[in-house]
Amino acid sequence: MKTTRTPITLWKIPKLLLALCLIWLISLSSCMKNTTQAPSTKPDITFQVPVDYYKLDNGLKVILSRDTTSPTVVVAVYYNIGFRIEPKDRTGFAHLFEHMMFQGSQNLGKMEFIRLVQRNGGVLNGSTRFDFTNYFEILPAHKLETALWAEADRMKGLAITQDNLTNQQGVVKSEVRVNVLNQPYGGFPWLDMPQYANQNWFNAHNFYGDLADLDAATLEDVQQFFKTYYSPNNAALAIVGDFKPEEAKALVQKYFAGLKPATLPAQPDISEPRQEKEKRSVKKDSLANKPALAFAYHMPKRNTPEFYAMGLIDQILMQGNDSKLYQALVQKKGYTGSVSGGINYLGNMFNYNGPMIWMGDLIYDSNVPADSILAVLDSEIAALDKNGIDQASIDRALVKIRSSLYDNLTGTYGFGRADLLACFALFDDNPARINELEAEFKKVTPDVIKKTVSEYLRPTNRTILTVDPLAPAESK
């Protein structure tokens, strides 16, 4: 799995919440220590995430998952509109709305949502991903009602004014200039590679949106976008933390049940054809001072045996200093100081819905030919394809992915759990999948690994993108 690269800005964490979470982490550490010391004769007990899933009459998907290890609560609202399923003539709208949702509602003025959460000792954030836009708050447990009221308030009616739109158009354009246009390796490879590796426009357009498209957005366009996609029947609400289930359900009913559903458009076809020929492209970067290379392979479909096999292959080839590519490219050859990559650069291998690529990237010395790096990549993949992998290696990968999974579940004070629950509700109508992941990885056999390598890590399924550094010589 891959740590997210989405440019998320966490708001300042209040000291009280930080202290509460520290106590929780110490408690968790103690529990983990005890688990490690347990006799090996104990049965293999798998941790189960409590999942209480239901839907309101207006279509809102609600997931409750109680966790009393700290006196906090996470409220996360996920809308099924991401930048690759935004309409063709509305590029950048999904991201623009991530910003608009903090500009005020019927009852909260501009930026008051943020101040409401922070003054109650909480933190909050939002982000835009391939298939969803999300918003979440982490608050002391007794402030659950505050969070639910505020989320329902802006779902009911956002303050979409020309002043807010003009202001946020400027903010988004500034973000593009800072993060991409005026940044060495800006957008490489997380924003670039999908545009080269994919053929379907929905997977291959500029996810940030063209600046011209953002400028052309009218108030009516934005109002219609909100009315269509920010409706309860296009959303999932996840509540994780220290709450009483019946009280939480009553509050959800009180604040969300009266919201009206929208007529949703059909989801676009985001499928990708089978890639039959390797693709290579070069990106000139006037700010970069060293060459860089990224490689990408189209992934198997979600929830197939090959999908889980790719999760283990990712661990074997890419993740950690014991991975085959790190050992070969960094330790043995010395071509680079690090290799990064994984499945879904904007999240992890579970929180997307549709085609995805497995990708890696590195910045390397100018005296190293790019083909030397690719030769190492080919050699490591060919060894897996020809010789397969033994069960002991799979077992080591299982340990790594289990650690990664549970790290993700507890990440950001419980937000990681809310993230998976909301995504499995949105995409699969089954948030209980969160408890099936470990078992699915354990089903992967050496034969499935070999079959997956042969089909999905073939050269004809690969896209190579290199950065040609054009920065002045004195900066190199």
pLDDT at site 473: 57
Euclidean distance between CA atoms 299 and 202, whole angstroms: 17
| Cut 0.85: pTM above it | yes
pLDDT mean over 346-351:
95
Q: Which residues contact 257 (CB under 8 A, 6 or more apart)?
A: 56, 57, 58
| pLDDT at position 44 over 70 | no
What tens digit of pLDDT does each residue of 394-407 get?
999 999 999 999 99
Residues 441, 187: Cα–Cα separation, whole Å: 32
pLDDT at residue 475 in the model: 54
Count CB-CB contacts under 10 A for residue 36. 7
What's the confidence (pLDDT) of residue 11? 36
Indicate the residue type of 190.
Answer: W
Q: How many CB atoms lie within 10 A of CB 209?
A: 22
Pairing of strands 61-66, 52-55: antiparallel
Task: Answer whether residue 20 shows pLDDT above 80.
Answer: no
Of 89-93, 181-185, 342-346, 386-390, minimum mean pLDDT range: 89-93
| pLDDT tens-place string over residues 51-97 | 999 999 999 999 999 999 999 999 999 999 999 998 887 788 899 98
Where is average pLDDT lowest: 2-11, 226-235, 250-259, 395-404? 2-11
In the prediction, which pLDDT does 45 show? 57
CB atoms < 10 A from the CB of 206, how many? Answer: 18
| Tokens at 172, concatenated | 């988004």
Q: Reply yes or no on whether the pLDDT at 136 is more than 80.
A: yes
Which residues are CB-neighbours of 322 under 8 A, at least 6 positions away? none
- What band does 42 get if pLDDT is binned at 50, 70 and 90? low
Dist CA 417 CA 275 (whole Å):
34
Instruction: Report phi then psi at 61, rounded to 5.
Output: -85, 130
Please tell me whether the peptide bond between 291 and the residue prior to it is cis, using omega within 30 degrees of 0.
no
Is pLDDT of 21 > 50?
no
Q: What pLDDT is stored for residue 412 in this prediction?
A: 81
Whether pLDDT at 36 is above 60: no
For residue 214, what are its two tokens? 């953002």
Which pair of tokens denotes residue 70? 């700290």
Q: Give me the torsion for CA of 418, 421, 422, 423, rounded to 10°.
A: 120
Alpha helices in 157-218 (DSSP H): 162-176, 193-197, 201-204, 211-216
pLDDT at 472: 73
The answer, yes or no, to whether residue 35 has pLDDT greater than 60, is no
**pLDDT higher than threshold 60 for residue 37:** no
Nearest to 82 by CA among 63, 98, 68, 59: 98
Residue 210 pLDDT class (50, 70, 90 cuts): confident
* SS3 (DSSP) at 156: helix
